[in-house]
Amino acid sequence: MSSSPIAIPSSSILVTHAAVSLSPAAAASGSLGHEHLRRNSLTSSANVRQPKVLHPIENEDLRILLLENISRDAVKAFEVNGWRVDHHTKAMNEDDLVQKIGQYHAIGIRSKTKITERVIKAASKLLVIGCFCIGVNQVDLVTAAKAGIPVFNSPFSNSRSVAELVISEIIALARQYFERGFEMRQGIWNKQSKGCWEIRGKTIGIIGYGHIGSQLSVLAEAFGMRVLFYDVINIMPLGSARQVEPLSSLLSQSDFVTIHVPELPETMNMISGMQLAQMKRGAYLINNARGSVVDIPALIKAVQSGHIAGAALDVYPHEPGANGAPFDDQLNPWASELRALKNVILTPHIGGSTEEAQRMIGDEVSGALTRYLNSGSTVGGVNFPEVDLRAITAEQPDHVRICHVHVNQPGVLKQVNEVLSPYNVEKQYSDSKATLPISWLTLRTSARRT
């Protein structure tokens, strides 16, 4: 299949890819007047990546890199489209990514791989990033947006798995049965009821009432727990749950405090020495959110003093890059002290690690990436405006779609429209997220005006 390039002016404009959806006839026609467009192209030194001459995408040549043992269902979903998929079970460090990323049009990661500014600058072909998890803090979202690369994640699919893990941790902490089980494996019989409780009638305090927090609320209430929650916005509670503020009010009333917030500057060490002191004596703390939201040295002191009866941690400020790697003081200077604590459950970031969750995440994120690559739809993009676009059909053989990303300044759209003035622009849509404006244009290449 032959293709003709389109060049969009880039003087103080950030140019990214275009023609994300294209009919075969339009690709083969070569009738997009690229010499006229190229003459109108300008250069800019402020771009994250070099401005691209915009070639129609031939989907059969797309290459996708999937890291961190992403679900094989996602691999199959991409291969159905005829795309080449390279699947790896482990994460890649920055140096390896910089070396390899230039040959790929899309990448899928989980939580360990970091997509930094340096990686993005080296990703000369990259069109889209898929985070096969909830969090997106492992991606430089601002740089990706400036480079015209949308980022998609899966905000819903593992919510139930995390919520069920929290319920299991609440019961395990209240009954101390993981300690008793460890003792049995050491050949020690230690039957006791002191310090062991039913969770019925106890109060759970949920910090962050989003997808996970709200599901946890329903499960906890089914166990007969009283549910309080704290969130920065007013949210309608489910069941008999009650929103409270300030945070100190929730902490002082709760027997179990569980955290479900994103990693933001505002949430860094949001549970530190002062907040732990505000918790009830004998209460428990659970963190399955992000490792940075709890001041772990302060938590260690609170558990050692007896003020906090126990804790469950699934996330940490620094985590090993692969299974089998040590979780020691070289990674986090307090690791050995944390591991020595009684009635503290430590798990290796397994909140969303169930067969069901990984299958649903694979389906959700691969679907989002496929829709973007085939039609330009950005529904679910965390750093792009959300636009739901229909794919160009076989009955539209002379249509091509362009996605243009630029800086927010007067005159940009005028330049774009002047360049495309010889063609019939059937649809044009513009939107912005933060300071990033994007335009989508659907052209009929056979309807050139003279």
Catalytic residues: 290, 319, 349
Structure tokens at 171: 């019961």
Cα–Cα distances in angstroms (integers) from residue 189 to residues 126, 135, 180, 193, 194, in the given order: 58, 42, 8, 13, 15
Which helix (H) or strand (E) segment holds residue 309: the answer is strand 308-313
| Closest residue by Cα to residue 427 from 390, 393, 394, 395 | 390
Q: Which amino acid is at 359?
A: R
Residues 6+ apart with CB under 8 A from 85: 63, 64, 66, 75, 78, 79
Alpha carbon 435 to chain centroid distance? 21
Structure tokens at 136: 């997106």
Query: Rounded to a whole number, what is the distance in angstroms from the first to the last CA of the chain?
Result: 27
How far is Cα 340 from Cα 331, in angstroms, rounded to an integer? 16
How far is Cα 233 from Cα 243, in angstroms, rounded to an integer? 10
DSSP letter string over 221-256?
A: HHTT-EEEEE-SS--PPSTT-EE--SHHHHHHH-SE
* Interior/surface letters 196-227, b for 16+ CB within 10 angstroms, e for the rest: ebebeebbbbbbbbbbbbbbbbebbbeeebbb
For Cα atoms 152, 107, 101, give the angle at the middle one, nearest 5 degrees. 140
- Using the 8-state DSSP alphabet, how is residue 162 labeled? H
How far is Cα 205 from Cα 315, in angstroms, rounded to an integer? 19
Residues 6+ apart with CB under 8 A from 394: 23
Structure tokens at 150: 């949308």
